[in-house]
Structure formats: structure tokens, C-alpha cells
Amino acid sequence: MSAPRGTGALDVRVGPINGGCTVTVVGDLDTVSAPVLGGCLEELLTRPGVRAVELDLSGVTFLDAAGLTVLARADRTARRAGQVLRMRCGTGRAVLRPLQITGLADVFTIIDAQP
């Protein structure tokens, strides 16, 4: 799946893992592209048999409020359904800094970096 943006695009790829799936996101996660990821996560988190979703955000180059909203909504959906949503953020500031500023770094399950 992908969404065009003025200077870039968002690429979302889904692959299987044991008991769930992995979602790899590359590009700008902003107002234009966030609905693509949101729709993908909503579909996965409501799919029967999916116990865990691992979200790899290490390729995200820009994250705005719309992207943060999608992540927060997905986290809430997973928790309500008794599923696990884990995030890989890498070490880049594009994702870690917005998560730190908003306090979401303390809410989300981040498995690869100490924000």
C-alpha cells in the first residue's frame, strides 16, 4: 500500500509472523498518508486469529500529529482486543522525538530503542 505526498510517499508492507503480522512503514507519516496506515492497522487488529502486530517505524522520515493519532488509535484498539502492538522505532529522531514530546513513548510498547 502507498499514499502519495507532495515530496514523498508512504510505503506500507505487511508480512506474517508467528501468531500475527509485521507492518513495515517507510516514508512520511503525515496528514495525507496516515489514513493508509490507519486503515491497514484497523483491518489487521480486527482480523480473527491475529494476536500480535509488530510495527516497524524505523523507515519513517517524518511523523506529524495525524500519524501520532493513528498510532495512538491502533494502540488503544489492540489493548481493547487483548492483542499486542509492538513498535520498532530505530534510533532516528523522526519518530522518537515526537513520541517523547507527546509522552507516547511511555505508553507504547517500543521494543528496540530506549526513548
**Domains of the chain, residue spans:** 2-110
What is the average pLDDT across 73-97?
Answer: 94
| pLDDT tens, residue by residue, 8-61 | 589 999 999 888 999 999 999 999 999 999 999 999 999 888 999 999 999 999
Residue 112's pLDDT is: 84
Q: Residue 103 above 60 pLDDT?
A: yes
Q: Residue 69 above 70 pLDDT?
A: yes
Residue 2's pLDDT is: 42
Count of H-run helices and E-run strands, the chain: 3, 6
Pairing of strands 9-17, 20-29: antiparallel
Q: Which is the CATH superfamily of the domain at 2-110?
A: STAS domain (3.30.750.24)
Residue 95's pLDDT is: 96
What is the average pLDDT across 64-84?
Answer: 96
Residue 7's pLDDT is: 44
pTM tops 0.75: yes
**Inter-CA distances, 34 with 30, 60, 70, 96, 112, Å:** 5, 12, 7, 17, 22
